[in-house]
């Protein structure tokens, strides 16, 4: 699989690695740049030892076929976890936004589970470049990739060239995963980078409870909110976790939403206050959208509208407080029981959603 991935996307993978070198590893001058390179490489190297052998082998295949260093593929796949463990770098390279929701069958027209998520991210550009150059690169170089291992469940993931893990995916069994970063203080590099944890879920889990169990049993690097949906049990939940604690939120009505802060009372004190205003504004706007829409019927088309909503929830909100905002990289809507998903890159205002069919088994 790694060799196929590297061969099919050789040029795109090289372009991505060049961008990482330009904007991240060599983006800052002088001693600061040297310190960034040293810190990033050290933490990524520690995390590499925590990744399951089968995924390390796959990454080596990608690196070999694309003719790029293995360490660079590891860094691409653990980038957010590395920044989370280097808090000053996490501030410099901003990790903003993300919004997600699920509407349950009892409130959805046709009795179908519908899930949606926006991935929002901002990466500081190299010194002297347009501040949005690095983030714009992320928006313009998305991939939607089907992974078909012979001994696991197949799945489709939204990511980037060379990305072996996943943060947005749906399996052939109708299991959906969408993760959102939550800034926390007590992180650790001696754990599995989140994209590989989520890949294990879409490869193995068939229900929400099985997905939760995998998250409980896996050592975790940082804080995340994770939306999990399952076609087989027609259910969804948000799993909130830090490196050491985990709690599960279930829908109180016919929907559930999450952004970039912990809402479970056991976890709420564990997240930092930095993104709370923007996160809480998006949380409340999504909550209101779900509350008003569900009683009147809900489907994937309405979900797609949610993810491009730019209404500000309060007068004090700014453009970064809306569900679709300048940091939005892509939007994805899932209809798990139908084996369908829709993806919209946020590189252009006039970009439409593209439908992807996922054979269910």
Q: Which residue has the higher pLDDT, 58 or 185?
A: 58
Q: Are residues 184 and 263 in the same domain?
A: yes
Pairing relationship of beta strands 328-335 and 114-120 according to DSSP bridges = antiparallel
Label residue 33 by pLDDT band (50, 70, 90): confident
Q: Are residues 193 and 273 in the same domain?
A: yes
Residue-number span of the structural domain to which 83 is assigned: 2-91
Of 49, 76, 91, which marks where a domain is finished? 91
pLDDT in tens, 258-287: 999 999 999 988 877 666 889 999 999 999
Would the pLDDT of 157 be above 70? yes
Q: Are residues 85 and 112 in the same domain?
A: no
Q: Are residues 197 and 281 in the same domain?
A: yes
Q: Are residues 54 and 173 in the same domain?
A: no
Q: Are residues 166 and 283 in the same domain?
A: yes
Of 51, 71, 91, which marks where a domain is finished? 91
What is the C-alpha separation between 206 and 79, in angstroms, rounded? 28
Of 52, 76, 91, which marks where a domain is finished? 91
Domain containing residue 139: CATH number: 3.60.60.10
Q: Are residues 147 and 250 in the same domain?
A: yes
Q: Using an 8 Å Cβ cutoff, are 65 and 10 in contact?
A: yes
Distance of CA 148 to CAs 86, 219, 323, 352, Å? 34, 25, 32, 27
Q: Are residues 77 and 121 in the same domain?
A: no
Q: Are residues 79 and 116 in the same domain?
A: no
pLDDT in tens, 219-229: 999 999 999 99
Q: Once rounded to an integer, what is the mean pLDDT over residues 25-37? A: 89
Q: Using an 8 Å Cβ cutoff, are 207 and 230 in contact?
A: yes
Q: Are residues 34 and 124 in the same domain?
A: no
The number of distinct structural domains making up the chain is 2
pLDDT in tens, 46-93: 999 999 999 999 999 999 999 999 999 999 999 999 988 886 555 545
pTM: 0.95
């Amino acid at each position: 699989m790694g060799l196929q991935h590297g061969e099919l996307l050789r040029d795109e993978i090289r372009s991505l690695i060049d961008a990482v070198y330009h904007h991240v590893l060599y983006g800052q001058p002088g001693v600061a740049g040297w310190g960034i390179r040293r810190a990033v490489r050290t933490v990524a190297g520690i995390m590499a030892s925590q990744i399951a052998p089968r995924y390390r082998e796959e990454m080596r295949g990608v690196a070999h076929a694309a003719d790029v260093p293995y360490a660079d593929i590891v860094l691409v796949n653990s980038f957010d976890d590395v920044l989370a463990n280097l808090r000053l770098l996490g501030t410099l390279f901003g990790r903003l936004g993300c919004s997600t929701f699920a509407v349950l069958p009892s409130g959805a027209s046709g009795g179908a589970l519908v899930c949606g998520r926006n991935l929002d991210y901002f990466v500081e550009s190299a010194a002297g470049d347009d501040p949005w150059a690095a983030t714009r690169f992320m928006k313009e170089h998305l991939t939607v990739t089907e992974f078909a291992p012979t001994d696991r469940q197949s799945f489709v993931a939204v990511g980037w060239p060379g990305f072996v893990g996943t943060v947005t995916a749906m399996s052939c069994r109708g299991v959906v995963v969408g993760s959102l970063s939550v800034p926390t203080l007590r992180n650790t590099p001696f754990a599995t980078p989140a994209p590989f944890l989520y890949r294990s879920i879409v490869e193995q889990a068939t229900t929400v409870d099985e997905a939760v169990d995998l998250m409980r049993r896996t050592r975790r690097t940082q804080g995340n909110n994770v939306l999990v949906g399952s076609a087989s049990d027609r259910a969804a939940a948000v799993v909130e976790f830090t490196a050491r604690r985990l709690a599960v939120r279930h829908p109180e009505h016919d929907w559930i939403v999450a952004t970039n802060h912990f809402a479970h009372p056991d976890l709420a004190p564990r997240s930092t206050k930095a993104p709370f205003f923007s996160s809480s504004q998006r949380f409340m706007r999504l909550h209101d959208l779900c509350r008003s829409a569900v009683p009147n019927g809900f489907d994937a088309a309405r979900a797609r509208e949610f993810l491009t909503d730019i209404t500000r929830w309060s007068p004090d909100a700014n453009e970064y407080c809306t569900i679709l905002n300048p940091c939005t990289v892509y939007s994805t809507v899932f209809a798990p029981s139908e084996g369908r998903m829709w993806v919209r890159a946020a590189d252009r205002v006039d970009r439409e959603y593209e439908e992807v069919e996922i054979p269910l088994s």
